[in-house]
Structure 1
Amino acid sequence: MKKVLMIAAENDAISGAKVGGMADVIRDLPPALASEDIIVDVAMPNYGYIAQTYNANNIGTVAVKFGANIEIVSVALMPRPRTSVDGNTYLNSQVYLFEHHLFNSEGNQVYCAGSNDRPFADDATKFALFNLAVAQAYIDGLIPEVDVMHMHDWHAGMLVMLRAFDPQYAMLKQCQCVFSIHNLALQGIRPIRDDVSSFAAWFPELTHLLTDEQKAHLSDPRYPNCVNPMKMGIELSDKVHLVSPTYAHEVLMASDHQNGFFGGEGLEASMLDKHNRGDIVGILNGCVYENDNSGVNDSGVNDSGVNDSDVNSAESELTTAKPDKKTANKSINQLLVKSQDTVIKWLGKTDSARSVDQITLARLQQWQMQQINQASSIDFLMTSVGRLTDQKVLLLRQPYPVEANSTGQSLLDAMLIELKRLKPQGVFMLLGSGYHVIAKEFQQVASRHSNFVFINGYDQQLSDELYQLGDLFVMPSSFEPCGISQLLAMKQGQVCIAHGVGGLRDTIKDQQTGWLFEGHNLAHQAEQFIQVLINALSLSNEQPEQYRQMEIAASQERFSWQQVAKQYRQQLYS
Structure 2
Amino acid sequence: MRPGTSRPAPQIRTVQENESKKKILFVTSELSDLIKTGGLGEVSAALPRALRLHHDVRVLLPGYRQVMHSGHPIRLVGSLAGHAALPRCRVGRIDLDDGLIVYVLVSPELYEREGTPYGDERNRDWPDNHIRFARLGLAAADFAAGSAGVSWRPELIHAHDWPAGLAPAYLRWRGQGTPCVFTIHNLAYQGLWRPECRAELAIPEEALRMERMEFHGQLSFLKAGIAYADRVTTVSATYAREITTPDFGCGLEGFLREKAERGLLSGIPNGIDESWEAETDPHLLCNFSAGDCAGKAVHAEYVRRRFALEACAGPLFVVVSRLVRQKGLDLTQALADTLVERGGQLAVMGRGEPELEDSMRRLAERFPGRVGVDIGFDETTARRMFAGADFLLMPSRYEPCGLSQMYAQRFGSLPVARRTGGLADTIEDGVTGFLFEEASLESYREAVLRAFRVFATPHLLHAMRCRAMTAPCFWRQTIDPYLQLYRQLLEGRHGEA
TM-score, normalised to structure 1's length? 0.74
Aligned CA-pair RMSD: 2.5
Residue in structure 1 matched with residue 67 of structure 2 by the alignment: 50
Q: Is the 8 A contact 2:276 2:407 kept in 1?
A: no
Provide the rounded CA distance (Å) in 2 between the counterparts of 1:160 and 1:236.
Answer: 5
Alignment match, 2:355? 437
Q: Secondary structure at the match of 1:509?
A: coil
Residue 417, structure 1, aligned to residue 337, structure 2: yes
> Secondary structure at the residue paired with 2:78?
strand
Is the contact made by 1:105 and 1:111 (CA closer than 8 Å) also made in structure 2? no
In the alignment, is residue 128 of structure 1 matched against residue 134 of structure 2? yes
Match of residue 479, structure 1, among 395, 398, 422? 398
Of structures 1 and 2, the larger Rg is shown by: 1
Once the two structures are superposed, the pairs formed by residues 520-559 of structure 1 within 5 Å of their partners are: 522=439, 525-541=440-456, 543-559=457-473
Residue 219 of structure 1 and its aligned partner are, at CA, apart by 3.9
After TM superposition, give the deviation of residue 322 of structure 1 in Å. 4.5
- CA deviation map 1:31-83 (0-9, x unaligned): 21122x2111111111145356322211132221223xx7321111222x135
Question: Relative to structure 1, is the Cα distance of residues 331 and 271 closer, same or farther in structure 2, using a 3 angstrom cutoff?
Answer: closer
Say if 1:151 and 1:157, in contact at 8 Å, map to a contact too. Answer: yes
Residues 1:241 and 2:233 are matched in the alignment = yes
Q: Is the 8 A contact 1:321 1:468 kept in 2?
A: no
Superposition pairs of residues 132-171 of structure 1, within 5 angstroms: 132-139=138-145, 140-143=147-150, 144-165=152-173, 169-170=174-175
Unaligned runs of 5+ residues in structure 1 are 84-90, 256-262, 293-314, 340-363, 372-376, 399-410
2:83 to 61, 65, 79: 65
Give secondary structure in 2 for the equivalent of 1:41.
strand
Mark the CA change 1:31 to 1:386 in structure 2 (over 3 Å): closer, same or farther: same
Identity among equivalent positions (%) equals 26
What residue identity is the alignment partner of 1:416? A
Identify if the C-alpha distance between structure 1 residues 416 and 141 changes in structure 2 by more than 3 Å, giving closer, same or farther.
Answer: closer
**2:90 partner letter:** S
Query: 1:181-232, CA deviations, whole angstroms, 9 ceiling, x for partnerless residues?
Result: 1111101100011xxxx222332xx44xx23x763344443x22x1001001
Question: Secondary structure in 1 aligned to 2:408?
Answer: helix
Contact 2:158 2:181 in 1 (8 A): yes
C-alpha distance in structure 2 between counterparts of 1:322 and 1:481, whole Å:
33
Aligned position for 2:97: 82
**Cα shift at 1:177:** 0.7
Shift of 1:318: 2.9
What's the TM-score, normalizing by structure 2? 0.85
Compute the displacement of 1:290 (Å). Answer: 4.9
Q: Cα distance 1:114–1:379, how it changes in 2: closer, same or farther (>3 A)?
A: closer
Quote how far apart the aligned CAs of 1:108 are: 6.1
Q: Once the 2 structures are TM-superposed, how far is the Cα of residue 562 of structure 1 from its aligned partner?
A: 1.1
- Is the 8 Å Cα contact of residues 276 and 410 (structure 2) preserved in structure 1? no
1:18 counterpart SS class: coil
Provide the rounded CA distance (Å) in 2 between the counterparts of 1:105 and 1:58: 16
Q: Is 1:497 matched with 2:416?
A: yes
Q: Distance in 2 between matches of 1:25 and 1:160?
A: 20
Structure 2 alignment gaps of length 5 or more? 1-20, 278-286, 489-497
Corresponding residue of 1:202: 201
SS, match of residue 64 in structure 1: coil
Cα distance in structure 1, aligned partners of 2:104 and 2:186: 24
Match of 1:39 in 2: 56
Tell me by how many angstroms 1:105 deviates.
Answer: 4.7
Provide the C-alpha distance between the structure 2 equivalents of 1:443 and 1:48, rounded to a whole number of angstroms.
30
Richer in helix (by share): 1
Contact 1:513 1:550 in 2 (8 A): yes
Deviation at 1:548, TM superposition (A): 1.7
Match of residue 427 from structure 2:
508
Task: Report how many residues are paired.
Answer: 455
Which of 11, 15, 24 is 1:4 aligned to? 24
CA contact (8 A) 2:212 2:228 kept: no
Equivalent residue, structure 1, for 2:274 = 289
Query: Which moves more between the two structures, 265-274 or 532-541?
Result: 532-541
- Determine which of 397, 411, 414 is the counterpart of 2:330: 397
| 1:27 correspondence with 2:27 | no
| Aligned equivalents of 2:271, 2:27: Cα separation in 1 | 19
Relative to structure 1, the CA distance from residue 219 to residue 131 in structure 2 (aligned partners, 3 Å threshold; closer, same or farther) is closer
Alpha carbons 1:382, 1:472 under 8 Å: kept: yes
Spell out structure 1 runs of 4+ moving beyond 6 A: none
Kept in 1, the 8 Å contact 2:288–2:295? The answer is: no
Q: Report if aligned partners of 1:220, 1:227 keep a CA contact under 8 Å in 2.
A: yes
1:317 aligns with 2:317: no
Deviation at 1:560? 2.1
| Aligned counterpart, 2:380 | 461
Distance in structure 1 (CA, Å) of the matches to 2:381 and 2:191: 33
Verify the 8 A CA contact 1:182 1:242 in the aligned structure 2.
Answer: yes
Are residues 1:565 and 2:479 paired? Answer: yes
8 Å CA contact 1:114–1:120 kept in 2: the answer is: no
